[in-house]
Amino acid sequence: MIICDNLVKIYKTTDLEVVALQGLDLTVEAGEIMAIIGNSGSGKSTLLNMLGGLDRPSAGTLFVDDKDLLKFNDQALVKYKRETVGFVWQNNARNLIPYLTAQENVEMPMIFTGKAKRERAKELLEMVGLTQRRNNKLGQLSGGEQQRVAIAIALANNPKLLLADEPTGAVDTKTAQQILDVFREFNRTYGVTIVIVTHDRQLSRKVDRVVAIRDGRTSSEFIRRRYADEIAELNRPMEEEPLDMETHDELAVLDRSGRLQIPREYLNALGLKEKNKIKVELDGERIILMHPDEASGN
């Protein structure tokens, strides 16, 4: 569904140049539910904006659903945003029109495509558990209900890709679980690919794959292990303590130049700082990284 190859994004002002992405590589399979994590300023929201056609890359390759987004003109971008991708934002003000009912909000995106909107809106609101609230205006809905309306809106035109920016950031743990259940239901029913930017580690435990971004590059991936009791972990309420097991295997990402981003906590444990040298040895089928002093026996 998504191929990012050496993706670069540079923001320029009169006297300042900021490199938000510097050679990011990423592949997302069709039908996958994936989370993107990273500190503020790591480039994850920049990536989401480019996947959604809201911003253009400065260099590199970006394909979504076999479409080359770097070659899109403005008209093609509008078509792409209407038909291929849906958005869910943390801030409901970006998703919802306050003076409309829940159903009217869901119908709104379909006006521009000429699709039969009333029955489709009812179907989506039923799937997010809001059939009885469809005629309520937004001020009569809780924050979690508003976010579920936003998910229904994002899926109104049957997008192949759903992008969610901190969708559980403004709700409590129970509501966050409900929102994640809605994502999984749409994924199973329609096969929609879902990419979620989140700081919520509990949420990231429950997706197929987690990609960590650091300094504008993909630094590591967490691939879900396939245990017999995985279903128990997926269905465990998020407010409960995590099961005494890791749900994912962590893989560091090696780029085409052989560069490896080592987690900061590992470098801190060795007492290494930026631009320090590190000893690298090949030991059979393993590559060993050591502090230079340790390697020399000091």
Let me know whether 54 and 172 are in one domain: yes
Let me know whether 168 and 73 are in one domain: yes
- H-helix or E-strand spanning residue 235: helix 230-235
Answer for the pair 212, 37: CB distance below 8 angstroms, yes or no: yes
pLDDT of res. 242 = 45
Enumerate residues 6+ apart whose C-beta is below 8 A from 10. 17, 18, 19, 20, 58
pLDDT of res. 115 = 65
Average pLDDT over residues 65-94: 86
Task: State the residue for tokens 């056609």.
Answer: 53
Let me know whether 167 and 297 are in one domain: no
Does the residue 15 lie in any domain? Answer: yes
Provide the number of structural domains found in the chain.
2
pLDDT of res. 229 = 45
Paired strand residues for 68: 63
Question: How many CB atoms neighbour CB 170 within 10 A?
Answer: 15
Q: Residue 103's closest CA among 91, 116, 119?
A: 119
Kindly report the CATH number assigned to the domain that includes residue 250: 3.40.50.300
Answer for the pair 191, 30: CB distance below 8 angstroms, yes or no: yes
Burial (CB < 10 A; 0-12, 13-18, 19+), residue 3, is: middle
On whether the pTM is more than 0.95, the answer is no
Write down the mean pLDDT value for the chain.
Answer: 81
pLDDT of res. 175 = 78
Q: Which domain does 72 fall in, by range?
A: 2-84+159-257
